[in-house]
Amino acid sequence: MSRTLRPLLNPVLRHRMLWPVVILAALLLLNLFFTNGFFKVEMKDGHLYGSLIDIVRFGAPLILVSLGMTLVIATCGIDLSVGSIVAISGALACLWISELGDQNSIGGVLTAVALGLGLSVALGAWNGFLVAGIGIQPIIATLILMVAGRGVAQLITDGQIITVNSSPYKLIGGGYWLTLPFGIIIVIAVLALTAFLTRRLALGLLIESVGGNAEASRLAGIRSRGVLMMVYAFCGLCAGIAGLMISSNVSSADGNNAGLWIELDAILAVVIGGTSLAGGRFSLGGTVLGALIIQTLTTTIYSIGVPPETTLLFKALVVTIVCLLQSPAFREKAFRRRRRPAAAASASAEEEAGEERVGVSA
């Protein structure tokens, strides 16, 4: 029976998404012991409510930023400026809306959204220009905007928290549509579009080719600079949408704290999802799974009552365990060593049995 099941189980056990799925399931089950009705999803006033819905809703900005980060990392790059772009996008949109005579004007809100997203794409393209056009290393090029961008966001808000009272703008991060939080619908739409462009078209292969070997891709006729520019611009767009979502959810813009350290969580989500920092192949589904693990971990920390002073340590410990379990090299060193003594013992037993047979025959 074991020989029959082994060929079926081996691909599952070796799949790179196995351990992230196991960790996510374990975190969800852990919450079940501390929160009554954790898996309960109910309908109230035509809207879906529940802890699972909240995890996806609160994790929507991180998922969006992580999707853009995935494509950047697939090109063997990194973008440390996404947190600053999040702050800039939300600050510019809220500033525009706050100066409207009627903050519920749909036209005014759409203009604010267009300004925020347009500036986000421009900032992402600027990162791409520094990397692809000038040749600055991605970590340095994006570090420039990471530092300067936070200052730009505070200049836009004049160092204050800008509050707005706009129902159309509130819809982006705090509203509902078709019984679901609107933020979840935005994530589904962006994920579907990204998957279509990278998996149904040749764009995904071009990104992986540039990440695998940019010089060989250039010699093969691929415009690697154009691919890099587009990828960084898309990452900026995703960060801009996340910024609108975060500021909309709280009806305010904080240039100092909005999107703070979200770039680190995004990088963790991408790595947990199985995308290598060395570039090449990437996994959008794995990235979404990694972002959900981080958000579920945050929820779990509050559910089980971890002291605030140890929250970051607890989070780092869980993420470290996930990364170690996902590493083939670590699993080989940790689990193969136990098998080798057993194999050596069986081999020595066979040798002794062979010697006894030789003695009997003699």
Tens digit of each residue's pLDDT, the chain (362 residues): 456 656 666 666 666 777 788 888 988 998 888 888 888 888 888 888 888 999 999 999 999 999 999 999 999 999 999 999 999 999 999 999 999 989 999 999 999 999 999 999 999 999 999 999 999 999 999 999 999 999 999 999 998 999 999 999 999 998 999 889 999 999 999 999 999 999 998 899 999 999 888 778 877 888 888 999 999 999 999 999 999 999 999 999 998 889 888 998 999 899 888 888 888 889 999 999 999 999 998 888 887 877 767 777 877 887 787 777 767 777 777 766 555 554 444 545 555 545 444 444 44
* pTM, entire model: 0.86
**If you search the block for the tokens 């971990």, which residue do you land on?**
297
Parallel, antiparallel, or unpaired: how do β-strands 252-254 and 161-163 relate?
antiparallel
Alpha-carbon gap, residue 16 to 328, rounded angstroms: 9
Q: What is the DSSP letter of 160?
A: S
- Domain boundaries defined on the chain: 16-346
Alpha-carbon gap, residue 85 to 78, rounded angstroms: 14
Q: Does domain 16-346 have CATH number 3.40.50?
A: no
For every residue of 27-43, DSSP letters joined together read HHHHHHHHSTTTT-EEE
* Torsion sign, CA atoms 264, 266, 267, 269: positive
Locate 291 and state its tokens: 């972002």
Alpha-carbon gap, residue 65 to 324, rounded angstroms: 24
Locate 29 and state its tokens: 């089950």
